[in-house]
Structure 1
Amino acid sequence: MNNVIVWQFHRLAFTEPMLLSLCVSACLVALALALRHAITRDDEGLPLAGEMAYQLMHDAVEEVVGANYVERVLPFVGTLWLFILLANLLGLVPGLLSPTRDLSVTSALAVIVFAAVHVFGIRASGWKAYLRHYLAPTPMLLPFHLISEFTRTIALAIRLFGNMMSLEMAAMLVLLVAGLLVPVPLLLLHVVEALVQAYIFGMLALIYIGSALEAGQPGPLAPSPLEEH
């Protein structure tokens, strides 16, 4: 982790992971503006790629939460996927490190997911029905439900941090030993790992949200991919 302050404005201090995370957010905003501009000009390339990406994310979200909630959940989970993917790929830029290799960044993402899960659940069922599910099937299980909420949030943060940290450390060690003889396989490995880790983080968040939407509802949601096997 790199917690050294690299820029400070009055009392507001920024570390390198914070600045890189802001750069990723700015890139996503710029990409969205470019996509809107391309659509208004009837261009084909960028809108087509955006439509394909949207359809892939739409199908993944719909498979977990069902058609009734897909439009409500997709903006959050889709943004999460894109942010993590771009943050993971930032490590490919010479001189830069992926923000997601810093535990503070992954912890912030996990806390956002933690809050979003309860927001979606309360909006879907009402706060009384949603909170009541923590007492089911017996109030004696309340402490275990609460422990589960916190442990899965911690695991979500550590999983992404550990995988990205180990990937970049392994790449650095290989480059030190083999020099620049193996750059292409390492780059491909980084791209694949970035895709996989972004997908896993987003899918776990999606499954947690799907469980929250199901809590307090009279009918079950569509089963998640993990529940089908």
Structure 2
Amino acid sequence: MTLSPDQTILFDLWGISLNATVFFTWIVMLVLTLGSILVTRNLRPDVPPNRWRTMLEVIVQGIEGQIKEIAGRSDRPLLYYAGTLFLFVAVSNLLLVIPGFEPPTASLSTTTALALSVLIAVPLFGITSRGLGGYLKTYLQPSFIMLPFNIISEFSRGVSLAVRLYGNIMSGAVIATILLGVAPFFFPVIMDVLGLLTGMIQAYIFAILATVYISSATDSSRASSSESAHPPQTEKETS
């Protein structure tokens, strides 16, 4: 029993071994790219939306609504980024119902790469929103003593994201393999349903956590609120 698609070598390409993680990641990207092209190819006001376009609009509006609840504002760049994370993880897990498909999110290398993208996106969004100096000041809040702890907190977020996503997907695959060996005719249907449910939940949680981390880095109200908590004393008050 293989615990990770990294261990499954499909074929050699020009002397380079291509494992299942890379291959099925390409499959997911191909499905997302072709699906978006097919759904939006007639995206015009005079063309009535079909069910696929309606479903895509519902997904986009749902993600945008979650961002507004978390960040308190509409943020198009964050919508594009968080939406891409959600769709990639969700489609990777949904394709698990296809026989022979191994979700790339069951590989620690994939989940680590996704977590690293979040770690890079957080300062990029923060610098874009606050400026370099304004973002670096957040590491000194509420006091400069917190600088090492804030740095450790940034890296621990990425580690927790990677381990959480990998652990949940991998544990589900291991449990499914064990149950298939016990009762191969009864448990597959149940495990497929549970796999779809947990896959969507994990995609939602991952995208929401990324949105929370980025929103906290771009929220300038934290700095202003900390300054307003200790307003400068006026001449009348000092007297």
The alpha-carbon deviation at position 172 of structure 1 amounts to: 1.2
2:35 corresponding residue in structure 1:
31
Partner residue, 2:5: 2
Determine if contact 1:106/1:158 at 8 Å carries over to the other structure: yes
Instruction: Single out whichever of 23-32 and 175-184 deviates more from structure 2.
Output: 175-184
Q: Which residue of the partner structure matches residue 64 of structure 2?
A: 58
Say which of 5, 19, 37 aligns to 2:23: 19
Counterpart residue type for residue 61 of structure 2: Q
- Whether 1:104 aligns to 2:106 is no
SS at match of 1:14: strand
Tell me which amino acid in the other structure corresponds to 1:149.
E
Normalising to structure 2: TM-score of the pair?
A: 0.85
- Cα distance, 1:147–1:218 mapped onto 2, change above 3 Å: closer
What SS is found at the alignment partner of 1:39?
A: coil
Distance in 1 (CA, whole Å) between partners of 2:32 and 2:93 is 14
Residue 210 of structure 1 corresponds to which residue in structure 2? 215
Alpha-carbon distance in 2 for matches of 1:14, 1:119? 32
Counterpart of 1:97 in 2: which secondary structure? Answer: coil
C-alpha distance in structure 1 between counterparts of 2:224 and 2:148, whole Å: 26
- Point out the more displaced range, 77-86 or 209-218: 209-218
Deviating above 6 A after TM superposition, structure 1's stretches of 4 or more consecutive aligned residues are none
Shift in CA distance, 207/162, structure 1 to aligned 2, threshold 3 Å: same
- Cα deviation per residue 1:154-179 (whole Å; 9 max; x = unaligned)? 11000000000011111111111012
**1:103/1:161 contact within 8 Å kept:** yes
Q: Distance in 2 between matches of 1:11 and 1:165?
A: 29
- Tell me how far apart the structure 1 counterparts of residues 36 and 176 of structure 2 sit (CA, whole Å): 32
CA positional deviation for 1:217:
6.2
Contiguous gaps of at least 5 residues in structure 1? 221-229
| Letter of the structure 1 residue corresponding to residue 31 of structure 2 | C
CA deviation after TM superposition for structure 1 residue 216, in Å: 7.4
Which one of 156, 159, 183 corresponds to residue 154 of structure 1? 159
Identity %: 33
Find out whether 1:95 has 2:100 as its counterpart: yes
The residue correspondences of 1:27-176 to structure 2 (distance < 5 A) are 27-40=31-44, 41-67=47-73, 69-176=74-181
- Partners of 1:182 and 1:135 lie apart in 2 by 53
Query: Gaps (5+ residues) in structure 2?
Result: 226-239
Change (3 A) 1:121 1:91: same
CA contact (8 A) 1:133 1:215 kept: no
| Whole-angstrom CA distance in 2 between matches of 1:196 and 1:27 | 20
Structure 2 contact 5–106 (Cα < 8 Å) conserved:
no
Which letter does structure 2 place at the counterpart of 1:163?
N
How large is the Cα RMSD of the aligned pairs? Answer: 1.9
* Structure 2 CA distance for partners of 1:11 and 1:143, relative to 1, 3 Å: farther
Partners of 2:212 and 2:12 lie apart in 1 by: 38
Counterpart amino acid of 1:29? T
- Report the alpha carbon displacement of residue 7 of structure 1 after superposing the two structures with TM: 4.3
Higher CA-based Rg: 2
Return the alpha-carbon distance in structure 2 between the equivalents of residues 194 and 105 of structure 1. 15
Distance 1:218-1:142 versus aligned 2 partners, 3 A rule: closer
Matched length: 219
Q: CA 1:7–1:128 in structure 2 vs 1: closer, same or farther (change >3 Å)?
A: farther
> TM-score with structure 1 length normalisation?
0.88
Task: Kindly provide the amino acid, as one letter, of the partner of residue 128 in structure 2.
Answer: R
Structure 2 contact 130–218 (Cα < 8 Å) conserved: yes
What residue is the counterpart of 1:226 in the other structure?
A: none
- 2:186 equivalent to 1:181: yes
Q: Distance in 1 between matches of 2:108 and 2:119?
A: 16
